[in-house]
Structure 1
Amino acid sequence: MKIAAVVGPTASGKTKLAVDICRALNGEAVSCDSMQIYKYMDIATAKPTTQEMCGIPHHMLDFLEPGEKYSVAAYCTEAGKCIDDISGRGKLPVLVGGTGLYYSSLVDNISFADEDDDASIRSELERRAESEGIETLHRELSAIDPETAAQLHLNNRGRIIRALEIYYKTGVTMSEQQRRSRLAEPKYDCTAICLDARDRQFLYDRIDRRVDIMIENGLIEEARRFLSGELGKTSGQAIGYKELQPYFSGEISLDDAVDNLKRSTRRYAKRQLTWFRRDERITHLYIDEMPYEDLLNTAVGIIERGITK
């Protein structure tokens, strides 16, 4: 099945490009973001607004309560249903997002045969995370499975623990399990565009502006509301909440908290680019090298050729 994708780091302009591609090629968007699936977390996750969607249907957005657990396998199943429905109606499914694990698992048809938790191992890892700090577990994972550890931010407590749990339960690392579980044939013929930047500082400046706008739009209030409630383990990993906690508890100033948030977001963007750059099938377009209209026309041309070949 022919599909398209717009991937890349945060603040690179994926939503706008994907919407314009959908308008040009009769498509509908399927979110590929592990945090935008959650309700209410609109500002921290930079969830596209109704105005930004421009009337283009967006799927896999805003459907899960923050306290609910969600897995990569569940995403692949539900996103696959959306893709089948869109294609069945004669439209082009366009993936859009920056969660590399979701993208690769869906496009490369990775199977997840064993999603069960091991309660005893997990509870011990949870205990250690509390007593020793998640940084210690991340270092442990780096020694065991450096490939997976390099992809996981310290905020991603749940996946760090999950990766260690898988290893201690099976003796096989998560990255090796993923290699073994790739099926013979990918389910989709995907023509993918990654929005990139030759000049890293150009992207970092966009990220800093994005964070400033998020603060202006009410991120402080949103974070305060969520941190005072019952966040789920997965939804609580959203960058933007944890970084503000020290400010709420009086440990640091708001300016310092915002600087920490910008730093975390820049690091996350770097990891996103590392993930997508290793997939040679993805075409990279550089947002600092061409005006937007040229970038859009180039992307539409690449995807048109991909879906008609």
Structure 2
Amino acid sequence: MKQKVVTVVGPTGVGKTSLSIEIAKTFDGEIISGDSMQIYQGMDVGTAKITEEEQQGINHYMLDIISPEQTFSVVDFQQMVRKHIDAISNRKKLPIIVGGTGLYIQAALYNYQFTDNKRDETYQKELEKEVEQKGAYALYQRLKEVDPKQAEKIHPNNVRRVIRSLEVYERTGKSMATYHEKQTLTSQYDPILIGLEMDRPLLYQQINERVDIMMENGLLEEVSHLYKQGLVNSQSMQAIGYKEFIPYLKGEESLERAVELLKRNSRRYAKRQYTWFKNKMDVHWYTITSDDKNKKISTILKDLAGMIDNK
């Protein structure tokens, strides 16, 4: 029999963390973070990383595993998460993945094939030289011309991903999006996906309020510390919650504008997350409202008991 893996997905700010704790307590599980940014040490407030108190004694993995100046790919994530799934199942515990980074979760659960094993080092060096001569944005503009969908997903300063996307297009004549869409996904596990959704106005209100709380909890100080370490162009600093403050720290924008952009970008990201999970994965969806959260969690736990026993 395939190993069952419960996965909690949904947009940012919808309540995935608290649900995952209840699932772990009810079904004797351990939790793996499915968030591409919570892997970084010292990036706690902006990533809404679960605190030790909130963990309630449940073992958590894929948190604080690398420093902010390091790079980390979806292939790295896939390999590490699968090792954790095997280790948890060997301890006779239930593996639970929780997070909102759709591609990373999909890669961990399914036999997602990557193109990273066929690198063209000559072409890569040519593009790196072009970046040195013309700047990162010129290369990003070229990606927008040949693969606009992929360009939307990448920050212009994330040169490594821009080069990789251009390399795929140059070698195959196809966009990265086309390559991904044509894959037939099967899983070595028995995945059970639980999705949380919320009416858009309520979700956006909670996201805005969460940003305000982050600011009270020291988000600006956290970003400033990373900025002073010279990490402005690192992969980690391209994340929502961090990149919005760089113009402020450079003296180019007001703090109010930075917070406004963070709220806007967080809302837009939530919309993209929801679209991804709706279109890409077979998810059991539950709608959360402001006054029925506890009741809905009880319903989910009851439904999960049936899914785990019957699948």
Tell me how far apart the structure 1 counterparts of residues 170 and 126 of structure 2 sit (CA, whole Å): 8
Partner of 1:68 in structure 2? 70
Report % sequence identity. 40
Residue type matched to 2:52 in 1? T
Whether the 8 Å CA contact 1:137–1:161 is kept in 2: the answer is no
C-alpha distance in 2 between matches for 1:125 and 1:49: 43
Pairs aligned (count): 302
Aligned to 1:210: 210
Partner residue, 1:225: 225
The 2-side partners of 1:21 and 1:67 are apart by: 34
Q: 7, 19, 22: which is aligned to 1:20?
A: 22
Kindly state the Cα deviation for residue 82 of structure 1 after the two structures are TM-superposed: 0.3
Distance 1:188 1:202, change over 3 A: same
Aligned to 1:99: 101
Correspondent of 2:125 among 120, 123, 147: 120
**Alignment partner of 1:130 is 2:133:** no
Corresponding residue SS for 1:29: strand
Q: Which runs of 5+ in 1 are unaligned?
A: none
Distance in 2 (alpha carbons) for counterparts of 1:203 and 1:155:
28
**Residues 117, 43 of structure 1: alpha-carbon distance in 2 compared, 3 angstrom cutoff:** farther
Residue ranges of structure 2 left out of the alignment (5+ in a row): none
Equivalents in 2 of 1:208, 1:117: separation in Å? 43
Q: TM-score, normalised by structure 1?
A: 0.89
- TM-score normalised over the length of structure 2: 0.89
Counting only pairs closer than 5 Å after superposition, residues 225-304 of structure 1 correspond to structure 2 as 225-231=225-231, 233-279=234-280, 281-288=282-289, 291-304=292-305
Deviation for aligned residue 1:235: 1.2
Shift, 1:301, TM fit:
2.3
Name the CA shift for 1:284/1:129 in 2 (closer, same or farther; >3 Å).
Answer: farther
Q: Following TM superposition, by how much is the alpha carbon of 1:179 offset from its aligned partner in structure 2, in angstroms?
A: 4.4
- Shift in Å, 1:61: 0.9
Q: Which amino acid aligns with 2:224?
A: R
Q: Distance in 2 between matches of 1:202 and 1:295?
A: 16
- Partners of 1:117 and 1:75 lie apart in 2 by 23
Q: Against the structure 1 CA distance between its residues 289 and 208, is the aligned structure 2 distance closer, same or farther, given a 3 Å change threshold?
A: closer
CA contact (8 A) 1:195 1:284 kept: yes
Deviates more, 1:160-169 or 1:244-253: 160-169
Quick one: distance in 2 between partners of 1:260 and 1:267?
A: 10
SS at match of 1:193: strand
SS in 1 for 2:285: strand
Whether the 8 Å CA contact 1:129–1:137 is kept in 2: the answer is no
Check the 8 A contact 2:33/2:99 in 1, yes or no.
yes
Q: How far, CA to CA, are the matches of 1:38 and 1:293 in structure 2?
A: 31
1:227–1:241 Cα contact (<8 Å) kept: no
Does the C-alpha gap of structure 1 residues 59 and 122 become closer, same or farther in structure 2, counting only changes over 3 Å?
farther
Q: Is the 8 A contact 1:18 1:94 kept in 2?
A: yes
Equivalent residues in 2 for 1:136-155, closer than 5 Å? 136-137=141-142, 139-140=144-145, 143-144=146-147, 146=149, 148-149=150-151, 152=153, 154=155
Write out per-residue CA displacement over residues 139-184 of structure 1, whole angstroms, 9 at most, x where no aligned residue.
32xx5363x445x15478353443223212433322333345546x
Say if 2:35 and 2:101, in contact at 8 Å, map to a contact too: yes
SS, match of residue 278 in structure 1: helix
Deviations 1:191-222 (CA, angstroms, capped at 9, x unpaired): 1111111x211111111011111111111111
3-state SS, counterpart of residue 167 of structure 1: helix
Matched residue SS, 2:196 = strand
